[in-house]
Amino acid sequence: MIKSKTITMVLLSVLLMLVSRVQVLASSSSIELTPSIKAAFDLTAASAESSVRVKLNGLYSDLSTLKVQYDSREEQIRTLHYNNEQALIIVRQHIKEIDSSKVNGLETTVNHTKQRYQPLFDQYSALSRRITIAKSLKDKTLNTVLNAQGDAMKILVQLAREDIRGKQAQLKVAKDARTKKIAAARKTLSGIESPQTSIKSQKSIVTSLNKRLSADWSDFKAAIRKQSPTLTSQSLSSLLSGYGQISASKQKIIELEQKVTIVISTTSKQIGL
């Protein structure tokens, strides 16, 4: 059973890692500032007037900086998200197992106690039937003996039933406590829902902006092929605007993932992890 759980956890970990990497690839920028791109840009900038050339070089430098920031934040998001998913698997599993060993132990005790007293209950039932039969026979001596045995055994049966009820009461208390602990832990963990919803919203924004970046990047490459300083300046400005907006959204995603981390950590402490 333990090996099965371990294998399942490993498989889930691998799957989450693969999904996470696919998501990164799907949301990553297709823009690559290769040496050939830089060379074409330099030729375009060289053909421009001095003031325009300075502006173009400044824009390209800013684009390079934002591209590095884009990749860095994407990696940070990937790491945070992966770690959160891993931690969630562990926390959710432990929530399910809260006091399970205690409850299982008490259930076993109740069952064993019932089994131990069952012969006594069977004997008492058989004796009760004999007493009923003896009454119909109107044998006073037999009735006296059987009733004496019945009274003695009745005390033992009452003690046995009290013992069982006591252990059942302990089991009920443990089950109720377990239910409350699980509910409390899940309530705390539900704090991840709001930031997760916001993360989805921000990722949708990033996806839309990435499509715009792709179009702007195509315009930029076309502009430097034509060696047009004006078109190059326009496309660079648009790229910087898009990257700026994406950068803001990615920073929000990082902060939201960090909030998820805090909630998971709080839940972990709550359940004694």
Determine the pLDDT at residue 171: 96
Q: Which residue has the tokens 């919803």?
A: 197
Per-residue pLDDT at 29: 52
State the average pLDDT over residues 80-98. Answer: 95
Q: What is the pLDDT, as a whole number, of residue 9?
A: 41
Q: What distance in Å separates the CA atoms of residue 209 and residue 240, rounded to the nearest whole number?
A: 12
Label residue 131 by pLDDT band (50, 70, 90).
Answer: confident
**Three-class secondary structure of residue 30 per DSSP:** coil
Q: What is the mean pLDDT of residues 77-92?
A: 96
Q: What is the mean pLDDT of residues 233-262?
A: 95
Higher per-residue confidence, 4 vs 247:
247
Round the average pLDDT of the chain to a whole number and report it.
Answer: 86
Over residues 66-91, the mean pLDDT reads: 94
Residue type, 202: Q
Output the CA torsion sign for 61, 67, 68, 69.
positive
CA 69 to each of CA 20, 72, 83, 217, 220: distance values in angstroms, whole numbers, following the listed order: 20, 5, 21, 17, 20
- Encode pLDDT of 13-52 as tens digits: 444 344 344 343 334 456 888 999 999 989 999 998 999 9
Q: Is the dihedral of CA 53, 54, 55, 61 positive or negative?
A: positive
φ, ψ dihedrals at 80, nearest 5° = -60, -45
Between CA 232 and CA 36 the distance in angstroms is 16
